[in-house]
A and B are shown apart, each in its own frame.
Chain A
Amino acid sequence: GENVEQHPSTLSVQEGDSAVIKCTYSDSASNYFPWYKQELGKRPQLIIDIRSNVGEKKDQRIAVTLNKTAKHFSLHITETQPEDSAVYFCAVIGGQAGGFKTIFGAGTRLFVKA
């Protein structure tokens, strides 16, 4: 089945710096790659997503890049702010088994120091 690996598990940056989180997946048929932000005790919130026919997508300070050949995708946050501190999860949807199963990465705890 699909396997999703996420790195790093913890990331600490200074306010204003950039943060990059990477995920790799195993099923080349996967076709949708969302990123979620989860604050303590809250639901996961979609922050950006990308489909397999696109290589890069940007929304203000957040961007996602996808390398289908290498089967990895990355989240880039620029000009980080303390309110960006949270746990970030990548996810992979689709694949050989069908279009509905969602596999999450293990999460990255981001700390933005003021």
Chain B
Amino acid sequence: EPEVTQTPSHQVTQMGQEVILRCVPISNHLYFYWYRQILGQKVEFLVSFYNNEISEKSEIFDDQFSVERPDGSNFTLKIRSTKLEDSAMYFCATRFTGTSSYEQYFGPGTRLTVT
């Protein structure tokens, strides 16, 4: 069964550094999402992306965050200048374009640790 993949699985970075998290969606999925989950807390929506543009974003997704699909396959989340509070698990999810199912398929996550 096809799966969403994410790289790296774990990223350690220093405060103020830029990080790029990568996601490879299931082929023929054209809706993409990023979520974050601080340890022990709930999953929080960051942004949704469709047709090469942001569809919706949350209050968390400020100017420090950006998303793009640079090469038609990878879907990336960039954090420009990381803060300690950005430490969390970041999940990518993708969804088929049809309306028969709204199911989102989650990747395994990238654990980001900001020191």
Question: Which positions in A face B, CB cutoff 8 Å?
Answer: 32, 34, 36, 42-46, 49, 51, 89, 91, 93, 97-98, 100-107
Given contacts A36-B43, A102-B33, list 18 more A-B pairs with CB under 8 A: A32-B102, A34-B103, A42-B108, A43-B107, A43-B109, A44-B43, A49-B103, A51-B102, A89-B43, A91-B43, A98-B56, A100-B33, A100-B55, A101-B48, A101-B58, A102-B35, A103-B45, A104-B45
B106 touches A105 (CB 8 A): no
A-B contact count (CB 8 A): 51
A49 touches B107 (CB 8 A): no
- B:32-86 near A, CB below 8 Å: 33, 35, 41-45, 48, 50, 55-56, 58
Which of A36, A49, A102, A105 has the most CB atoms of chain B within a 10 A radius of its CB? A102
